[in-house]
């Protein structure tokens, strides 16, 4: 493997992390491969913060990344794994079962025995696994066969086993802030290789704001909206409000009636009532 350090990667990939290609959806093409390109979550990845220090040192511990969709959980897991020079095994709790878990663990054990190389096991939507499926990971987290990174949109305290939580640190990811979403738009419009730069598109400040409001802090959704809008642009290259409306279907901001946002709103309501 060639390389700079883990904060400014310039390395070939033989560690299981897929490098970005100049094809696929815009959000996939622009997926960052190091922390200097990563957008958002400054409370975790800014210089001197917890994950920055971990990546800089090339370390990796078991963790849960908890946050809304489109906030960079999968990307962050891949960056962390790359910094630790580990192979990555990926499972989605939506489709994987005990057999998949067993096969993944067997590959990790074989890898450790043959080459001594570490394995990061990334489990997306980990809250979808039931308690017994979650328990299947415990011995292998405990003995170091895998470093476990779970991603979830649900509160880990409610959805994950205490045994998992006792072995993994929880990092909370937040909706991406407006300034960072502006950076994403800039990157998409200016990058002529992986972005939309070759199309010479123009978006007014007002329509940038419209896109940002419609994406509700979800970076992937923002890039998807922008890519669809680009497909609808006329010869003048201007992304108008009408085009954005067509691209997004004039979607309303999402509201999770069963999740933490619901309870946050209820709590705020109670506090406001208690003032009277």
pLDDT digits (tens, 9 = 90+) for 97-153: 888 999 999 999 999 999 888 999 999 999 999 988 899 899 999 999 999 999 999
Does residue 100 sit in the same domain as residue 194?
Answer: no
Whether residue 30 is found in the same domain as residue 166: yes
Go through 207-221 and write b for each residue having 16 or more CB atoms within 10 A of its CB, e for each that does not. bbebbbebbbbbbbb
What is the per-residue pLDDT for 18? 44
Say if residue 193 is in the same domain as residue 127: no
Q: Is residue 168 part of a domain?
A: yes
Q: Does residue 263 lie within any of the structural domains?
A: no
116 and 165 co-located in one domain: yes
pLDDT for the residue 249: 86
Say whether both 212 and 164 belong to one domain: no
Q: The domain containing residue 228 runs over which residues? A: 178-248
Residue 75: both structure tokens together? 């990307």
pLDDT at 43 over 70: yes
Please give the average per-residue pLDDT across 14-38, as a whole number. Answer: 75
Residues 182 and 234 in one domain: yes
Confidence of residue 85 (pLDDT cuts 50, 70, 90): confident
State mean pLDDT over 162-183.
96
- Structurally, how many domains does the chain consist of? 2
Residue 276, C-beta contacts closer than 8 angstroms, at least 6 positions apart? none
Which residues make Cβ contacts (< 8 Å) with residue 10, sequence separation at least 6? 2, 3, 4
- The DSSP bridge partners found for residue 172 are 66
More confident position, 60 or 272 = 60
């Amino acid at each position: 493997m060639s390389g700079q350090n883990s904060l400014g990667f310039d390395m070939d990939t033989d560690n299981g992390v897929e490098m970005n290609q100049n094809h696929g959806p815009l959000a996939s093409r622009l997926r960052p491969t190091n922390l200097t390109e990563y957008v958002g979550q400054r409370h975790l990845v800014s210089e001197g913060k917890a994950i920055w220090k971990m990546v800089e040192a090339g370390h990796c511990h078991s963790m849960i990344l908890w946050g809304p969709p489109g906030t960079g959980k999968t990307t962050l897991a891949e960056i962390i794994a790359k910094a630790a020079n580990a192979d990555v095994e990926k499972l989605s709790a939506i489709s994987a079962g005990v057999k998949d878990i067993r096969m993944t663990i067997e590959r990790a054990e074989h890898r450790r025995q043959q080459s001594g190389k570490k394995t990061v096991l990334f489990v997306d939507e980990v809250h979808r696994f039931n308690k017994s499926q979650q328990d299947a990971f415990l011995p292998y987290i405990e003995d170091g066969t895998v470093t476990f990174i779970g991603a979830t949109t649900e509160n880990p305290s409610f959805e994950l086993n205490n045994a998992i939580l006792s072995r993994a640190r929880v990092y909370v990811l937040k909706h991406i802030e407006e300034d960072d979403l502006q950076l994403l738009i800039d990157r998409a419009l200016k990058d002529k290789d992986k972005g939309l730069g070759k199309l010479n598109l123009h978006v007014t400040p007002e329509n940038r704001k419209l896109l940002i409001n419609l994406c509700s802090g979800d970076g992937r959704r923002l890039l998807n909206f922008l890519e669809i809008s680009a497909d609808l642009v006329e010869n003048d290259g201007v992304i108008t409000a009408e085009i954005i409306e067509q691209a997004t279907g004039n979607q309303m901001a999402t509201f999770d009636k069963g999740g933490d946002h619901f309870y946050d709103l209820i709590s705020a309501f109670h506090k406001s009532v208690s003032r009277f």
